[in-house]
Amino acid sequence: MNSNPTPFPPPELHDPTPTPGGAGSADAFKTTQWSIILSAGAVSESVSRGALERLCSVYWFPIFAFVRRQGRSPEDAQDLTQEFFARFLEHGYFARADRERGRFRSFLLTCLKHFLNEDWRRSTRIKRGGPNALQPLSVEDAELRYAAGLRDTLSPDHLYERRWAEALLERVLHQLQADYAATGRSDVYRQLQQFLWGRQAELSYADMATRLGINEGAVKVAVHRLRQRFRHLLHREVAQTVEHGGEVEAELRYLLEVFAR
């Protein structure tokens, strides 16, 4: 039985060693993706749209899952998801932002509910991969992911939040893996990732030291650095979806609550 601590490192969710001007600094929150979008007119349209597209790309599957939970077929859910984002990116819904400021995930879900309630549909359906479309999963992949979670009895709203949390975490882990690959340490990440979020490590530090051919102290240092970088990336990713830096810690706590449900 492994006696190592819980893989995810609470409660210090903030980045303990922020880089100057980086995600841990106060200045960083002046240019988060969501604050850029909300400051329409203060930045160019291309910059604002780019920020919006970046955020929306993370939310494609959570939106698809919400629509599926409403009883739509896989094909209809994908078409509606594509149409929703096409309209959203064309600023058809974005005029509501000034009245509904807050976290991006909440704002997006409010817009989606308006969209579904009004049941706006174009006579010519926006085809998958057409103009203004994001680059989502295929309908088959999306349906497989949705089906894998059918055992959940969460409401559509809670399912959306769960998929949001999973998508955010997946993005952070992808960035973390890319960081290690960029410095030629892919094998280090592959070996040590078991000490990260949501999983019980299969090996003790001592066993990992034997596997890597280093001493146990070096393993502890490597895991500490991995977790530190993970915290930094998680903090930075969450920061992009809130307007003010003071909201990040609350959003991180809420992320943990979503996984605890």
pTM over 0.75: no
Residue 86: what pLDDT? 83
Residue 73: what pLDDT? 87
Q: What percent of the chain has pLDDT over 70?
A: 63
Residue 19 placed within a domain = no
Residue 128 placed within a domain = yes
d(CA 43, CA 34): 12
Domain around 194: 26-260
Residue 11 placed within a domain = no
Q: 196-249 pLDDT, tens per residue?
A: 865 567 889 999 999 989 999 999 999 999 999 999 999 988 888 887 777 889
Average pLDDT for the chain: 74
Residue 75 placed within a domain = yes
Rounded to a whole number, what is the largest CA-CA distance in the chain?
66
Residue 233 placed within a domain = yes
Residue 9 placed within a domain = no
The residue written with tokens 């999983």 in the block is: 199
d(CA 52, CA 104): 10
Residue 72 placed within a domain = yes
Residue among 50, 107, 35, 118 nearest 83 (CA):
118
Give the total number of structural domains in the chain.
Answer: 1
Residue among 59, 48, 63 nearest 97 (CA):
48
d(CA 215, CA 58): 39
Residue 130 placed within a domain = yes
Q: 46-85 pLDDT, tens per residue?
A: 766 777 777 777 888 899 989 988 888 888 888 888 888 8
Query: How far apart, in Å, do the first and last CA atoms of the chain sit?
Result: 26
DSSP string, 33-71: HHHHHHTBTTB-HHHHHHHHHHHHHHTHHHHHHHHHHTT
